[in-house]
Structure formats: C-alpha cells, structure tokens
Amino acid sequence: MTQPENAAALKGKTGLMRLWNAFAYSRRGFVAAWQNEAAFRQEMLLLVVTLPLGFWLGKNGVERALLLGSVLLAPVVELLNSGLEAIVDKTTPELHELAGRAKDMGSAAVLLVLLLAAVVWGCVLLG
C-alpha cells in the first residue's frame, strides 16, 4: 500500500515530520520504479555510466551542469511516465483510445528527454 491508512491524519504534519514522511514516500516510489519498470532500471544504469563521465568530460561548471542535468532528466520523466501509466491502468483496465493516447504521450516525453540528452552531449563534446 503506497498511501497511509489515514491520509487525513498526515495532512497537518509540519516541519521535520513532514519532511521525513515525504522522504519515505519518495523512497517507496524509487523502490516501486526499480522493481516494476525495466526502463527505469536501464536509465539508472545510464546514469551510473554518464554521471562520472559528465564530471570528467565537462570543462567547466556550465558544461558539467548541462551534461549531468540532461541525463538526470531521463529518470525524472520516466518516473512521471510510469506514474501516469499506473493511473491509466487503474482507471481504465480495458483498452481505450484516450488511455492509449495518454500512455503514448508519456512515452514520447521520455523519448524527447533522451534525444535532448544526446543533443546536449553532442554539442558539449563536439564543441
């Protein structure tokens, strides 16, 4: 279960308890994505390879930020896409044109971010 039994009881939480709860929910999201989404695991592998490369190949802070930021966007958008797909599957288990369109658009967003990363890396590294 990803939501607390009594969600209303957590609405009033503030300060460190609210941050702790938010961290716990985020951790559960990462674990769920890792366990259920092959694309997320692939993008995390891509990060393991490209983050050190970005630090090493970037000549200054701006280049490093572009290299690292562009590849960090991929798992972020993948998490959003996976969340969208989960909601669509929960809401509409049967095939529906709008459900398919929503899933396809989420997939297109992931593709665009991966293309963006490739363009950024190409521009930075090829000068």
At residue 96, what are phi and psi to the nearest 5 degrees?
A: -145, 140
Active-site choice (5, 78, 85, 97): 78
78 counts as catalytic:
yes
The SS3 call for residue 23 is helix
**Contact in structure between 72 and 126 (CB atoms under 8 Å):** no
Output the DSSP codes for 5-16: TTHHHHHT--HH
Residues belonging to the active site? 78
